[in-house]
Amino acid sequence: MKLIIRVFERTENAGQAGAMLIGGQMIRKPDSIFGLATGSTPVTTYKQLIKMTDDKLLDWNRVTTFNLDEYVGLPGDHEQSYKTFMKAKLFDFVNIRPEAIHIPDGMAEDPGAECMAYERKIREAGGIDLQLLGIGRNGHIGFNEPSDVFKTLTHCVDLSDDTIEANARFFSQPSRVPRQAISMGVGTIMKAWQIVLIATGSDKARAVAAMVQGPIDPQCPASILQTHPRVTVLLDRAASVALSR
Ligand code: GLP
């Protein structure tokens, strides 16, 4: 199945288009289940969703969300936890019910059991209608790092050096970046009915080309998306430059 790819001249339009797809899903199905992402990429999408909510276009009252991942060892109220990020960038500004928000617990005593429980919660909720994704410079989705095999279910991950380096900008010292995370697996992501992946900036160009035009290879985890029937890839010009026409 061919990925749908849209390239926008203005970087913010890629993120705003993501908000339009999420908003459209919410209007069609008010009790939608969304898979959400962190990182700098979806910030524009979340801003736009907040605006659409302020404009009374969107109602989050019946929405449920599952975040892709969380760092292991950071309490939810740590300033760099993904829980804090989601509150600051989206949840504090929309009328989502707190009990409808799901983020893996990075402080769980038994991370393995937390992974299994998270996977079960997604299944019991009825599965994800729309999964929002960014992409790492090395082709990771969620925290599914390049590997010899596709890790299918929610699992504990050792972060790659490249990811630790890329995420160090958010921490006061590189040594403070957690070394592990809990992440939905590639299989969890692939079960979503629809996927929207946003990538902007030149440092994503190689990963985008490998995802779209490379072989399906766990060394580029995002390449598995080529086999999903409903994926929309939203790019700015810089992220699209390595794609061959
Ligand atoms: C993190 C997240 C991913 C995200 C990626 C890219 O490692 N776990 O979900 O897609 O980084 O982040 P950014 O959007 O900041 O480039």
**185-225 pLDDT, tens per residue?**
999 999 999 999 999 999 999 999 999 999 999 999 999 99
Farthest-apart Cα atoms in the chain, separation: 49
Please report the atom of ligand 1 found closest to the CA of residue 204.
16
Q: Where are the beta strands (DSSP E) in the chain?
A: 4-8, 33-36, 64-67, 69-71, 101-102, 130-133, 155-158, 180-183, 194-199, 231-236
**Residue among 45, 86, 135 to mutate when testing ligand 1 (max atoms within 8 A of CB):** 135
Query: Which is nearest to 35 in space by CA: 76, 77, 65, 6?
Result: 65
What is the C-alpha to C-alpha distance for residues 161 and 94, in angstroms, rounded to an integer?
35
pLDDT at 233 over 80: yes
CB of 241 within 8 A of CB of 203? no
Please report the atom of ligand 1 found closest to the CA of residue 41.
14
User: What pLDDT does 173 receive?
Assistant: 87
In the residue annotation, 140 being an active-site residue is answered as yes
Percent of the chain with pLDDT over 90: 90
**Can you state the angle between helices 11-28 and 43-54, rounded to 10 degrees?**
50
Q: Work out the mean pLDDT of the chain and round it to a whole number.
A: 96
Domains of the chain in start order, with CATH, are: 4-240 (3.40.50.1360)
What is the C-alpha to C-alpha distance for residues 89 and 77, in angstroms, rounded to an integer?
14
User: What pLDDT does 183 receive?
Assistant: 97
Catalytic residue of the set 13, 70, 119, 138: 138
Catalytic residue of the set 119, 145, 167, 236: 145
pLDDT at 79 over 70: yes
* pLDDT tens, residue by residue, 90-104: 999 999 999 999 999
Query: ∠ at Cα 186 (183, 187), nearest 5°?
Result: 115
* Six token digits for residue 171: 């921490």
Distance linking the first and last C-alpha atoms of the chain: 18
* pLDDT tens, residue by residue, 4-56: 999 999 999 999 999 999 999 999 999 999 999 999 999 999 999 999 999 99
What is the C-alpha to C-alpha distance for residues 58 and 31, in angstroms, rounded to an integer?
12
Which residue's CA lies nearest to atom 5 of ligand 1? 136
Please report the atom of ligand 1 found closest to the CA of residue 134.
10
* CA 42–ligand 1 middle distance (angstroms): 9
Point out which residues pair with 158 in neighbouring strands. Answer: 180
pLDDT at 1 over 70: no
